[in-house]
Chains A and B, each alone.
Chain A
Amino acid sequence: MTALVPFNFDIGSAASPSIKMPGVKTAEKRTALIEVQDVSKVFGDRSAEALTMLDAGEDRAAILARTGTAVGLNHVSFDVAEGEILVVMGLSGSGKSTMLRCLNRLIEPSSGTIRVRGADVTAMAPAALRDFRRHSFGMVFQHFALFPHRTILGNVEFGLEVQGMAKPARRDSAMRAIELVGLKGWDARYPSELSGGMKQRAGLARALAADAAVLLMDEAFSALDPLIRRDMQQELVELQRRLQKTIVFVSHDLDEAIALGGRIVLMKDGAIVQVGTAEAILAHPATPYVARFVEHIDVASVLKVGALLAAVPIVLRSQEDPAEAANRMEAAGCGNTLVVDAAGRLLGRTDIAALRRVPNGQGLERAVRSCARVAATASVKQALPVVAAEAEAVAVVDEDGRLLGTIDRVGIINALARRSANPEAAS
Chain B
Amino acid sequence: MNWSVPRIPLDTWCDAALDWLTEALSGVTRAISHSVSDWIAELTTLLQAVPPPMIILAFGLLAWRVSGWRLSIGSMLGFAFLWNLRLWDPMVTTLVMVVLSTAASIAIGLPLGIVAALNARTWRVVAPCMDMAQTMPSFVYLIPAIPFFGLGPVSACFATVIFAMPPTIRLTALGILQVPGELTEAADAFGTTRWQKLVKVQLPLALPTIMAGINQTIMLSLSMVVIAAMIGAGGLGREVWSAIQRLEAGRGFQAGVAIAVLAIILDRITQQVSRRAQPR
Chain A residues within CB distance 8 Å of chain B? 104, 106, 129-135, 137, 139, 141, 143, 145, 147-149, 158-159, 161-163, 190, 192-193, 206, 210, 216
Instruction: Please judge, given known A-B contacts A143-B182, A161-B200, whether A149 and B279 are in contact too, CB under 8 Å.
Output: yes
Is B272 interfacial (CB-CB < 8 Å)? Answer: no
- Whether A149 lies near B190 (C-beta < 8 A) is no
- Whether A130 touches B191, Cβ cut-off 8 Å, given contacts A149-B204, A149-B205, A158-B200, is yes
* A163 lies within 8 A of B189 (CB): no
Tell me how many residues of B have a C-beta within 8 Å of chain A. Answer: 19
Instruction: For B190, give its contact among A139, A148, A192, A193 (CB under 8 Å).
Output: A139
A140 CB to nearest chain B CB (Å): 9
Q: Which of B183, B196, B279 contacts A162 (CB 8 A)?
A: B196
Tell me the complex Cα distance, A137–B190, Å: 8
Q: How far, in whole Å, are A206 and B187 apart by their CA atoms in the complex?
A: 11
Given contacts A147-B201, A148-B205, whether A132 and B191 have CB atoms under 8 Å apart is yes
Q: Does B192 sit within 8 A of A, measured CB to CB?
A: yes
Proximity string of chain B (194-224) to chain A, C-beta cutoff 8 Å, 1 when within and 0 when not: 0010001100110000000000000000000
Residues of B within 8 A of A132 (CB): 191
A-B contact pairs, 14 of them (CB 8 A): A106-B189, A133-B191, A134-B190, A137-B189, A139-B186, A145-B186, A147-B183, A147-B204, A149-B279, A158-B187, A158-B200, A162-B190, A192-B279, A210-B190
Chain B 109-139 per-residue mask, 1 if CB under 8 angstroms from chain A, else 0? 0000000000000000000000000000000
Tell me, yes or no, whether B23 is within 8 Å of chain A by CB: no
What is the minimal beta-carbon distance from A105 to any residue of chain B, in angstroms? 9
A192 / chain B contacts, CB cutoff of 8 Å: 279-280
Instruction: Please report whether the interface of chain B is mostly helix, strand, loop or mixed according to DSSP.
Output: helix
A158 touches B190 (CB 8 A): yes
Cα(A190)–Cα(B204), bound, Å: 15
User: Closest 8 A-B residue pairs measured CB to CB?
Assistant: A134-B191, A133-B191, A148-B279, A149-B279, A145-B186, A139-B189, A159-B190, A145-B182
Could you list 17 further interchain pairs (A-B, Cβ under 8 angstroms) beyond the known A106-B188, A134-B190, A139-B190?
Answer: A106-B185, A106-B189, A130-B191, A130-B193, A133-B189, A137-B189, A141-B186, A145-B182, A145-B183, A145-B186, A147-B186, A147-B201, A148-B205, A148-B279, A163-B191, A193-B280, A216-B189
Q: Which residues of A contact B185 (CB under 8 A)?
A: 106, 141, 145
Which residues from B are CB-within-8-Å of A149? 204-205, 279
A135: B residues at CB distance < 8 A: 191
Q: Which residues of A contact B204 (CB under 8 A)?
A: 147, 149
Cα(A141)–Cα(B190), bound, Å: 12
State the Cβ distance, B245 to closest chain A Cβ, in Å: 52
Q: Which residues of B contact A148 (CB under 8 A)?
A: 205, 279-280
In the complex formed, the residue of B with least CB distance to A160 is B190
What A residues does B200 contact at CB under 8 A? 158, 161-162
Residues in A with CB closer than 8 Å to B188 are: 106, 133
Q: Complex Cα distance A161/B180, Å?
A: 21
Q: How far is the CA of A122 from the CA of B193 in the complex (A)?
A: 18
Given known A-B contacts A141-B182, A145-B185, A193-B280, A162 and B205 have beta carbons under 8 A apart: no
Contacts of B205 on A, CB cut-off 8 Å? Answer: 147-149
Closest-CB distance, B137 to chain A (whole angstroms): 40
Residues of B within 8 A of A163 (CB): 191
Please, which residues of chain B bring their CB within 8 A of the CB of A159? Answer: 190-191
Q: How far is the CB of A292 from chain B (nearest CB, A)?
A: 32
Residues of A within 8 A of B183 (CB): 145, 147
A-contacting residues, B123-182, CB 8 Å: 180, 182
CB-defined contacts of B180 to chain A, threshold 8 Å: 145
| Given A161-B200, A190-B280, A192-B280, CB of A104 within 8 Å of CB of B182 | no
Least CB distance from A67 to B in Å reads 23
* B-chain residues with CB within 8 Å of residue A158 when the two chains form the complex: 187, 190, 200
* Complex: A161 Cα to B182 Cα, angstroms: 19
Shortest beta-carbon distance from B26 to chain A in Å: 46
How far does the Cβ of A283 sit from chain B's closest Cβ, in whole Å?
36
Q: How far apart sit A132 and B193, CA to CA, in the bound complex (Å)?
A: 12
Contact A162:B192 (CB < 8 A) given known A141-B182, A143-B182, A147-B183 = yes
A130 to B183 alpha-carbon distance, docked (Å): 17
Complex Cα distance A193/B280, Å? 8
Once the chains bind, are A104 and B189 in contact (CB under 8 Å)? yes
The closest CB in chain B to the CB of A132 belongs to B191
Q: Report B-chain residues with C-beta under 8 Å of the C-beta of A104.
A: 189
> Nearest Cβ distance between residue B186 and chain A, in whole angstroms?
4
Q: Is the CB of A131 within 8 A of B190?
A: no
- Docked complex Cα distance between A130 and B182 (Å): 18
CB-nearest residue of chain A to B207: A149
Chain A residue nearest to B190 in the complex (CB)? A159
B28 to chain A, nearest CB (A): 41
- Most chain A CB inside 10 Å of its own CB: which residue of B185, B189, B204: B189
B180 CB, min distance to chain A CBs, angstroms: 8
Q: Once bound together, how far apart are the Cα atoms of A206 and B191, in whole Å?
A: 13
- Inter-chain CA distance A106–B188, complex, in Å, is 7
* Chain A residues in 8 Å Cβ range of B189: 104, 106, 133, 137, 139, 216
Min distance, Cβ A155 to any Cβ of chain B, angstroms: 9
Q: Which residue of A lies closest to B197 (CB)?
A: A162
Q: Which residues of A contact B196 (CB under 8 A)?
A: 162
Contacts of A206 in B (CB 8 A): 190
Q: Render B62-105 as a binary contact track against A, CB cut-off 8 A, 1 for contact.
A: 00000000000000000000000000000000000000000000
